[in-house]
Amino acid sequence: MKLLTKLGLVAFLASGMSFSAQAIEITPTSGTSVAPGATRWSGNQTSQSQINAAISGILGSSTELYKQNVGGAEEKALAGSYTTTFDSNDPEDALIKYVSGDIVGGTAFLLVKDGNHSPAWYLFNLTALGWNGIADIEVNNFWPAGGAISHVTLYGTRGSSVPDGGTTLALLGMAIGSLGLLRRKIS
């Protein structure tokens, strides 16, 4: 019986460690623009106020939580929870990584904006595309024939923070240790 218990524990720990955040790739053709069930929208509005007006009906209760301008500082409530690295030459690619702290929860959206190209922006329903709030977002191939990403923005509702892997393992270890002590005390 002890052997089966130990093997079960090892299998449980191994399966828990195998769950890691996988990256989600977003390109101009990700998802579908066909309603109902659309997960991608685009438009030619160039000012942020015009874009906000155009997407407000799509976003519902989602609000702007994170924004990174090329060459600028992170902005909004979740600045510091995520970090964005842009391709160095006229960025057509970006990598958004979760660092720590609160996450984008609820229905999450990503806005990728250019400037004077058609379309000038793309909006993606990240939740419908499988994003969980912590996986990397690889933004690839936006305006490769001239133009560049000017900024990326994450919309959603503020979600609770996710413990890092070390904290999770420490808590799991303490729980297993407590069970072992309890078992000895009962015996």
Average pLDDT over residues 28-53: 95
Query: Max CA-CA distance within the chain?
Result: 74
pTM summary value: 0.77
What is the domain partition of the chain in residue ranges? Answer: 20-29+36-159
* pLDDT interval class at 21 (50, 70, 90): low
Question: Each residue of 88-127: pLDDT tens digit?
Answer: 877 999 999 999 999 999 999 999 999 788 999 999 999 9
- What is the pLDDT, as a whole number, of residue 172? 62
Contact 78, 68 (CB under 8 A): no
pLDDT at 183: 66
Task: State mean pLDDT over 1-11.
Answer: 48
